[in-house]
Amino acid sequence: MSRGLAQIERGEYFEAHESLEDVWRAADPEEKDFFQGLVHVAVAWYQAGRGNRTGCERQLEKAARRLTPFAPAHRGVDVASLLRSVEDAARTVAAGSLDLFPPFLRAATWDDQPMATDKPYGCSVVVWRAGASGREYLILHRRAAGGPDYEGTWAWTPPSGARLPGEDVDDTAARELREETGLELSITRTDLGVEQWTVYVAEAHREAEVVLDDEHDRYRWASADEAERICLPALVGRSVRAVEAQLVSERS
């Protein structure tokens, strides 16, 4: 199961559906619906990527039906949050768009603490500094995304993370920034995020030292164009581009 979940997190939806189908076929009868529900999640997002609205809608409906009995959590998966993600995706598709926020698939606990189940689920902090050729943005490479050479979905992101129960999202932003980069900066909430995810912006001095946590193996300061290109899925890169556009507007 862990292989299939990791593939979903990396956006490898076709591969995830194959991995999870193997688990589903071998599962005990009382758990088959749980694993089949995960298969439907993978296929729904795969169909969205192919532009198949009808197929995506059907898979989302099946995912919700099969996973609901296993909420709020099963086998270490936060099923309640995953179902909210499925519901959000269904609303997006019903509104005529297949640009889906990735399924919010996470463990039911983090460092032995339950995760928040109300929105926003978490946040990103888009950190920039003045460079010789313009603004540069801090992006981090996730160690677990798919190996040190992996450059695909969720490989590069701004500092970001999930919110803990009862934690104010502003506190989440400061905590994640500090834990992932060692930076303690003045952060500002923007209106550039989505309902599930809040986007912040922070300016760093050019000499600021970045100290990575164990979740990341390297970082880089990139132009807005480069960050938008390599931060995947596209909505992650667009968040950096949106911050760049806002900063340009504020200074014009």
Band of the pLDDT at 111, cuts 50, 70, 90? very low
CB-based burial of residue 229 (10 Å sphere; 0-12 exposed, 13-18 middle, 19+ buried)? middle
Q: Virtual CA dihedral for 90, 92, 96, 97, nearest 10 degrees?
A: -120
Our measurement of the distance from residue 164's CA atom to the centroid of its chain's CA atoms, rounded to an integer in Å, reads 15
- CA torsion sign for 189, 193, 82, 68 is positive
How confident is the model over 135-146, as a mean pLDDT?
85
CA–CA gap between residue 218 and residue 147 (Å, rounded):
12
Whether 94 and 161 map to the same domain: the answer is: no
Whether 74 and 22 map to the same domain: the answer is: yes
How confident is the model over 62-85, as a mean pLDDT?
85
* Type of residue numbered 223: S
How confident is the model over 212-233, as a mean pLDDT?
93
Which whole-number Å values give the CA distances from 166 to 63, 82, 83, 118, 169, in the listed order?
A: 28, 19, 20, 9, 9
Compare 85 and 154 and report the one with higher pLDDT: 85
Which whole-number Å values give the CA distances from 205 to 131, 193, 248, in the listed order?
A: 10, 25, 18
- Answer yes or no: is pLDDT of 132 > 90: no
Per-residue pLDDT tens for 5-55? 888 878 889 999 999 999 999 989 988 999 999 999 999 999 999 999 999
Whether 65 and 120 map to the same domain: the answer is: no
Our measurement of the distance from residue 125's CA atom to the centroid of its chain's CA atoms, rounded to an integer in Å, reads 13
Q: Is residue 224 part of a domain?
A: yes
Whether 78 and 132 map to the same domain: the answer is: no
18: domain CATH number is 1.10.3450.10
Whether 237 and 129 map to the same domain: the answer is: yes
Q: Which two tokens stand for residue 236?
A: 């992650």
Per-residue pLDDT tens for 181-213? 999 999 999 998 877 789 999 999 999 999 999
CA–CA gap between residue 116 and residue 78 (Å, rounded):
10
Average pLDDT of the residues of the chain = 88
- CA torsion sign for 150, 154, 159, 165 is negative
Whether 171 and 224 map to the same domain: the answer is: yes
- Answer yes or no: is pLDDT of 72 > 90: no
Whether 182 and 217 map to the same domain: the answer is: yes
Whether 75 and 6 map to the same domain: the answer is: yes
171: domain CATH number is 3.90.79.10
